[in-house]
Copies of this chain bind each other. A is one copy, B any other.
Amino acid sequence: MKKSFLTPGPSELYFTVPDHLKTALQDHVCEISHRSKAFQDIVQHTTEQLRKLLAIPTNFHLVFTSSATEIWERIVQNLSATSTYHLVNGSFSSKFYDFAVQLGRETTIYHVPENQGFEREILAKPSAAELICLTHNETSTGVMTPLTDIALVRATNPRSLVALDMVSSAPYPALDFSQIDTAFFSVQKCFGLPAGLGVWIFNDRCIEKAEQLQKNKQILGTYHTLPSLLQNSKKYETPETPNMLGIYLLGKVAEDMNQRGIQTIRQETDYKAALLYAQLEKSKVFSPAVTEKRFRSQTVVVAAGEAEKIKQFLALCQSHQIIVGAGYGKAKDTQMRIANFPTHSKEVMQKVADLLENF
């Protein structure tokens, strides 16, 4: 029986990955030069498939890094001189904040308790910071910020740059890119790919900002400054020898997703999330960790319960060859996190819902 990884990242490989790996070996994807036309074609294909899948406007650029973690660092280095503002509602938005502190920025933080979202008046609060950082989907707590609420940040702060962490939600959200200036994700979550690759999307305002900082003699980094990444991306290259296999696989899976249709993927995600939340609502043992419905993540469903019950349920799932994620950090034993990514079938999600119902 096939093992299903419903863990929130790394997660189950997209079902087409093994075939694409075979083709990659046959086509010598790992052996050709990263400066060859053949590899430029691969980078171009991946870029174009992602642009289509995410409906990225032409004034936004797309480059590759080694992880989303790296992008936290590059964003702070390249898009702020002194001040950043962080909307924190879990461990990952908190780490983004930590990076700004480590890089010596004057940081402001608005913190809500675990498993809670931001009220609209908080998002609509004016900030004097150059850069406002928020996380669309907090993988640690299962809180998803509604896109219409994210728009309030931009509306109130037209002069600040707005950075959106989409690590565990892209390509699910139908993001209106005009509401943000930069967004990013890694590939081992919803894309179902081997870890080791980050995608950084940014607009012309970000380029102007980075160039302004450079003029002011600020050090932006070395090979992975925004201008260096951008310049290389124009030739469909990267400054360093990149994770070529990762870029190839991402293009193939994005193409598969485009063929399936992003609307279908979104509808299926909503359907599968609804299955789980319905059972959690009915359950006498577990409950959705996020009480307010409009903040509930569609891609990482988090359930709360007694530690003993969580342990038993994870073991039960495991006996059915289904691996469900434990809670994160403080909630390690009292929560469980069920990834609901495009590769996870309706059947396996129905199975988990059935296990919840009969538990």
- A interface residue numbers (CB < 8 A to B): 3, 5, 7, 9-13, 18, 21, 25, 28, 30-34, 66-67, 69-70, 72-73, 76, 98-99, 102-104, 186, 188, 193-197, 219, 221-224, 239-246, 325
Contacts and interface: CB of A to CB of B under 8 A. Distances in A.
A246 B32 CA distance: 17
B32 A10 contact: yes
5 contacts: A10-B32, A66-B243, A72-B223, A103-B222, A186-B241
B195 A241 contact: yes
A11 B31 contact: yes
Contacts of A21: 21, 25
A66 B73 contact: no
Nearest to A240: B69
A254 B358 CA distance: 48
A241 B10 contact: yes
Contact of A245 (B98, B196, B241): B196
Given A9-B241, A69-B240, A241-B67, A188 B222 contact: no
Contact of A242 (B5, B18, B32, B195): B195
Given A18-B25, A73-B222, A239-B69, A10 B244 contact: yes
Nearest to A326: B33
Q: Which 4 A-B pairs have the closest CB atoms?
A: A196-B243, A66-B66, A69-B240, A30-B194
Best-surrounded residue of A76, A195, A242 (most CB of chain B within 10 A): A195
Nearest to A217: B104
A152 to B, nearest CB: 29
Contacts of A241: 9-10, 67, 69, 186, 188, 195-196
B25 A7 contact: no
B245 A194 contact: yes
A13 B32 CA distance: 10
B196 A196 contact: yes
Given A221-B73, A222-B73, A196 B10 contact: no
Given A21-B21, A99-B223, A196 B67 contact: no
